[in-house]
Structure 1
Amino acid sequence: MNSAGVNGLRAHFVWQVARKELLSTLRDRRTLTSTILLPLILIPIFVIGFPLLLGRAFSGQSQERQRVGVIGTLPAALRARLTADAGAEVGVTLLPVTDPVRAVQDGTVQAVLRVPGSLPTEAGGASGTVQLYAKLGNLKAESGVIGKLKSALGAYNSSLVAAKLKGRGLPASFLTPVRVQTFDASRPQEAASGQLAFIIPMFLLQFILAGGMATAIDSTAGEKERGTLEVLLVSPIRRAEVVVGKLLATTATALTAAAFGLLGLLLSGLLGGILLRGTPAGVAGAMGGRLSVAPASVGVLILMALSAALLLSALLIAVSIFARSYKEAQTYVAPISLLIVLPAIGLQFADFIGRGAGLYALPVVNAMVVILDIVKGALSMPMALLALTVNLLVTGLLLLLAIRSFRREGVIFRN
Structure 2
Amino acid sequence: MLKDSIIIFKKELKSLFKDRRSIFFLIILPLVLMPGLFLTIGYTASSQEKKAAETVYRVGFINLPDEKFPEILSKRLLYEGFYKSFNASDFNEVTSSDRTVIVEFNKNDEKLTAKIYYNSVSNKSKYAMQVIVSALNAYEKLLLSDKLRSYSLTLDDLRLIDISSVDMAPKEAQGTDFLAVMLPYMILIYIFAGSMNIGLDTTAGEKERGTLSPILVNQVSRTSIATGKVFYVMTAGLINSVSTFIGLVIAFSILGSMPNSGLSMNISALTPLKLLCLLITILTVAGLASAVMVLLGSLAKSMKEGGAYVMPFYIGAVIMGVATMQMDSPKNLIVSLIPILNSVFNMKDIITSQISTLRFLLMILSNLAVMAIVIFLTARLYNSEKILESSE
Deviation at 1:377, TM superposition (A): 3.0
The separation in 2 between residues aligned to 1:183 and 1:141, in whole angstroms, is 37
| AA at the equivalent of 2:260 | T
Provide the residue aligned with 1:68 in structure 2: 59
Provide the residue aligned with 1:98 in structure 2: 87
Deviation at 1:310, TM superposition (A): 0.8
- Aligned pairs (5 A) from 1:392-403: 392-403=368-379
The separation in 2 between residues aligned to 1:253 and 1:205, in whole angstroms, is 14
SS in structure 1 of the partner of residue 163 of structure 2: coil
Say whether 1:284 aligns with 2:283: no
Across the aligned residues of Structure 1 and Structure 2, the Cα RMSD in angstroms comes to 2.8
Say whether 1:24 aligns with 2:1: no
SS in structure 1 of the partner of residue 113 of structure 2: coil
Say whether 1:251 aligns with 2:260: no
When normalised by structure 2's length, the TM-score is: 0.87
CA contact (8 A) 1:216 1:316 kept: yes
SS in structure 2 of the partner of residue 129 of structure 1: strand
Structure 2 residues not aligned, in runs of 5+ = none
Provide the residue aligned with 1:298 in structure 2: 275
Number of aligned residues: 388
SS in structure 1 of the partner of residue 354 of structure 2: coil
Structure 1 residues not aligned, in runs of 5+ = 1-8, 119-124
| AA at the equivalent of 2:351 | V
SS in structure 1 of the partner of residue 59 of structure 2: strand
Deviation at 1:114, TM superposition (A): 1.2
Provide the residue aligned with 1:356 in structure 2: 332
The separation in 2 between residues aligned to 1:155 and 1:57, in whole angstroms, is 25
CA contact (8 A) 2:208 2:301 kept: yes
Identity percentage over the alignment? 23
| AA at the equivalent of 1:206 | I
Say whether 1:173 aligns with 2:156: yes
CA contact (8 A) 2:234 2:287 kept: yes
1:209–1:348 distance in 2 versus 1, CA, 3 Å: closer
SS in structure 2 of the partner of residue 93 of structure 1: strand
Provide the residue aligned with 2:24 in structure 1: 33
CA contact (8 A) 1:65 1:93 kept: yes
1:171–1:310 distance in 2 versus 1, CA, 3 Å: same
Say whether 1:227 aligns with 2:210: yes
When normalised by structure 1's length, the TM-score is: 0.83
| AA at the equivalent of 1:129 | T
Deviation at 1:317, TM superposition (A): 0.6
The separation in 1 between residues aligned to 2:361 and 2:121, in whole angstroms, is 44
CA deviation map 1:331-351 (0-9, x unaligned) = 322222113210111123314
SS in structure 2 of the partner of residue 115 of structure 1: strand
The separation in 1 between residues aligned to 2:174 and 2:49, in whole angstroms, is 20
| AA at the equivalent of 1:113 | V
- Aligned pairs (5 A) from 1:8-407: 9-11=1-3, 13-82=4-73, 84-85=74-75, 89-95=76-82, 97-99=86-88, 102-107=92-97, 109-117=99-107, 126-135=110-119, 141-142=125-126, 144-188=127-171, 191-195=174-178, 197-274=180-257, 276=258, 278-279=259-260, 283-285=262-264, 292-351=269-328, 354-407=330-383
1:46–1:327 distance in 2 versus 1, CA, 3 Å: same
| AA at the equivalent of 1:146 | M
CA contact (8 A) 1:268 1:291 kept: no
